[in-house]
Amino acid sequence: MGVQAQTFGRGVIRKYRGWLPEIPDEAIATLGEGDTPLIPAPRLSERVGTDLHLKFEGMNPTASFKDRGMTVAMSRAVAAGNRACICASTGNTAAAASAYAARAGMACFVMVPAGKIALGKAVQVLAHGAEIVQIEGNFDAALRLSRRAAEQMGDVALVNSVNPDRIEGQKTSAFEVCEALGRPPDALALPVGNAGNITAYWKGFREWRDAGLADEAPRMLGFQAVGASPLVAGHDFENPETVASAIRIGSPASREGALNAVGESGGLIESVTDEEILAAQDLLAREEGVFCEPASAAGVAGLIKLALEGRSPGGTVVSVLTGHGLKDPAAVLDRVELPEPVPATFEAVARRMEAAPP
Ligand code: F0G
């Protein structure tokens, strides 16, 4: 046990227990989530005109921020005696639910829009042995159906972010950001889909301030993809479309949480195009060495856009990279491909290297 405690991350429940709903020790389902790196981004800082840091949530056990909320939701479901869980998902929630359900010994159903989730996420669900229900509809329909299934089937825990335990777990990332910087940042930029995460960060920063650990809380800067931007447009999108499949959502369940976060913090919610998102994903990977999935680059895309328009927030800014780039290999392979092989001779290799850009 002593060795395990040293080599296995404590996970967000043990680390932040006093800030979370009550969970008995024996119910804790953890994979050592949290404690993700806050990476300085010197080259992008110059582009966006702020001191930019990247909170790389792709370093969680299932490679997205969802693990923080899922450890709390799943542990609470165990404590409540549930034997199965269900969620709707654009992919990452499904991957996290599948892994944490396996950990907890619980059956798991995930409902996803057919053919619309990234390959890596689908593979994760299959690997963990969850039941995947592909529906001929989008995420918003899947969430409606999952809510109904949880209500009517009894003993089935709904582990989407409409479950407040998910928000509680996710807010721990705000604590880590404050601890790493020694104070809250001046602004936090992040992608917004179903709007649970912006709601959770704002709750975390507020609680940190209200506990007297800081005088201020950051401005919350949320970014949606243009084709899936109901919070910017002020109305639901019936057919949301974006290359950033994780945030292809037309009717965000935590709409109010997002609008409160933006209103109370003096922040904003704006949209970025798919081109801007993919350009930001490339810059992150090529100039900073950090590979995130397309949706995760929306925060940086937004900061670049603000800087180009002379509206850079300034100060110290954290952008949350919500999921790992390996989740969505097709997003990269659609733009670049492996070159043809060359013969295994020095001449051929040298020719190939000389032809490459410096
Ligand atoms: N980034 C990634 C990589 C996501 O997977 C999600 C949401 C978001 C950002 C947006 O977070 O919904 O809290 O505003 N993914 C959910 C899912 C919807 O099913 O995996 P949000």
Query: What per-residue confidence (pLDDT) applies to 208?
Result: 98
pLDDT tens column, 99-126:
999 999 999 999 999 999 999 999 999 9
Mutate which of 197, 290, 296 for ligand 1? The one with the most ligand atoms within 8 Å of its CB, which is 197
Per-residue pLDDT band at 2 (split at 50, 70, 90) = very low
Per-residue pLDDT band at 293 (split at 50, 70, 90) = very high
Query: What per-residue confidence (pLDDT) applies to 356?
Result: 84
Q: Using the mean position of ligand 1's atoms as its centre, give its distance from the Cα of residue 231 in Å.
A: 15
pLDDT tens column, 149-198:
999 998 999 999 999 999 999 999 999 999 999 999 999 999 999 999 99
Mutate which of 66, 202, 247, 290 for ligand 1? The one with the most ligand atoms within 8 Å of its CB, which is 247
Least confident span in 8-12, 62-66, 238-242 = 8-12
Whether the per-residue pLDDT at 7 is higher than 70: the answer is no
Per-residue pLDDT band at 357 (split at 50, 70, 90) = confident
The Cα 114–Cα 127 span in angstroms is 18
Q: Using the mean position of ligand 1's atoms as its centre, give its distance from the Cα of residue 247 in Å.
A: 6
Q: Using the mean position of ligand 1's atoms as its centre, give its distance from the Cα of residue 356 in Å.
A: 37
Show the 3-state SS of the chain.
CHHHHHHCCCHHHHHCHHHCCCCCHHHCCCCCCCCCCEEECHHHHHHHCCEEEEEEHHHCCCCECHHHHHHHHHHHHHHCCCCEEEEECCCHHHHHHHHHHHHHCCEEEEEEECCCCCHHHHHHHHHHCCEEEEECCCHHHHHHHHHHHHHHHCCEEECCCCCHHHHHHHCHHHHHHHHHHCCCCCEEEEECCCCHHHHHHHHHHHHHHHCCCCCCCCEEEEEEEHHHCHHHHCCCCCCCCCCCHHHCCCCCCCHHHHHHHHHHHCCEEEEECHHHHHHHHHHHHHHCCCCECHHHHHHHHHHHHHHHCCCCCCCEEEEEECEEHHHCHHHHHCCCCCCCCCCCCHHHHHHHHHHCCC
Query: What per-residue confidence (pLDDT) applies to 6?
Result: 46
Per-residue pLDDT, averaged over 35-44, amounts to 98
CB 198 within 8 A of CB 264: no
Query: What per-residue confidence (pLDDT) applies to 15?
Result: 97
Whole-number average pLDDT of the chain:
96
Query: What per-residue confidence (pLDDT) applies to 8?
Result: 60
Please count the other Cβ atoms lying within 10 Å of the Cβ belonging to residue 356: 7
The Cα 220–Cα 177 span in angstroms is 14
Q: Give me the percent of the chain exceeding a pLDDT of 70.
A: 97
Per-residue pLDDT band at 358 (split at 50, 70, 90) = confident
Query: What per-residue confidence (pLDDT) applies to 250?
Result: 98
Query: What per-residue confidence (pLDDT) applies to 48?
Result: 97
Whether the per-residue pLDDT at 344 is higher than 50: the answer is yes
Instruction: List pocket residues of ligand 1, CB cut-off 6 Å.
Output: 64, 66, 89-93, 161, 191-197, 246-247, 293, 295-296, 322-323
Whether the per-residue pLDDT at 30 is higher than 70: the answer is yes
